[in-house]
């Protein structure tokens, strides 16, 4: 069975984590040109009148559905029902301790966004869009941290019992919906490709 690989056409890390001063949050920072993506939850790094702080980081990533559609038309990609699409993301080596027994949610993003050109994943000094607050220069997220489809069919959970696993999850439903959107000229009820958001579960972000 042949395997085709499509690499992301855009990706970014969006965060509300503190800058190094532990006062200012990096909500306006952009990491679209960084060479990795970060997903985390940090609790209690700073405390004040509002209690213990919570810092979050999420990844957004988009793939070239138009190219997949062209490949299907050319016969390179089989018809719907005869092929499966998998999202694969790999755990990059780093010096930090990883948690165990956590879950990542892969959800379809519901608003268009721009990748941006930021690189700074340490001090969050590269300001740009998209970021924690805004999807693009013209549009803010409806909810900070990104807008995602909530229907269960548009979400999938990936378990990390050890913590060092890679993501490999079937996203055929998403991809086929995005191809339909191209096919039927944006018909109602069909989801447009705005890519995936990858984040911890609500309880693990709390």
E strands, the chain, where?
10-15, 40-48, 51-62, 86-89, 102-108, 155-160, 167-170, 196-200
Print the domain residue range for 78.
11-205
Instruction: Provide the number of structural domains found in the chain.
Output: 1
141 within a domain of the structure (yes/no): yes
Candidates 40, 194, 205, 64; CA nearest to 130 is 194
| Residue 3 included in any domain | no
Q: Are 170 and 86 in contact (CB under 8 A)?
A: yes
pLDDT in tens, the chain (206 residues): 589 999 999 999 999 999 999 999 999 999 999 999 999 999 988 776 677 899 999 999 999 999 999 999 999 999 999 999 999 999 998 888 899 999 999 999 999 999 999 999 999 999 999 999 999 999 999 999 999 998 877 799 999 999 999 999 999 999 999 999 876 665 555 789 999 999 999 999 98
The answer to whether residue 5 sits within a structural domain is: no
Neighbours of 80 (CB within 10 A): 13
Residue at token pair 């693009």:
136
**Residue 6 placed within a domain:** no
CA–CA dist 60, 159 (Å, integer): 18
pTM: 0.92
pLDDT at 173: 92
Question: How far is Cα 196 from Cα 150, in angstroms, rounded to an integer?
Answer: 12
Whether residue 1 lies inside any domain: the answer is: no
Residue 58 in any domain: the answer is yes
Residue 106 covered by a domain: yes
45 is a domain residue: yes
């Amino acid at each position: 069975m042949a395997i085709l690989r499509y690499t992301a056409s855009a990706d970014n890390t969006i965060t509300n984590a503190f800058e190094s001063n532990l006062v200012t949050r990096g909500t306006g920072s952009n990491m679209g040109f960084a060479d990795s993506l970060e997903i985390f939850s940090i609790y209690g790094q700073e405390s004040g009148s509002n209690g213990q702080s919570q810092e979050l980081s999420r990844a957004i990533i988009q793939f070239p559905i138009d190219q997949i559609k062209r490949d299907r038309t050319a016969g390179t990609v089989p018809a719907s029902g005869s092929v499966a699409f998998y999202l694969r993301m790999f755990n990059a080596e780093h010096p930090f301790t990883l948690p165990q027994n956590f879950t990542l949610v892969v959800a379809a993003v519901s608003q268009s966004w721009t990748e941006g050109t930021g690189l700074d994943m340490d001090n969050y000094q590269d300001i740009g869009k998209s970021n924690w607050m805004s999807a693009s220069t013209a549009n803010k997220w409806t909810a900070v941290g990104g807008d995602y489809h909530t229907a269960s069919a548009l979400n999938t959970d990936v378990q990390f019992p050890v913590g060092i696993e890679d993501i490999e999850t079937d996203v055929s439903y998403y991809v086929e919906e995005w191809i339909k959107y191209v096919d039927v000229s944006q018909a109602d009820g069909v989801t447009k490709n705005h890519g995936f958001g990858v984040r911890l579960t609500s309880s693990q972000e709390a």
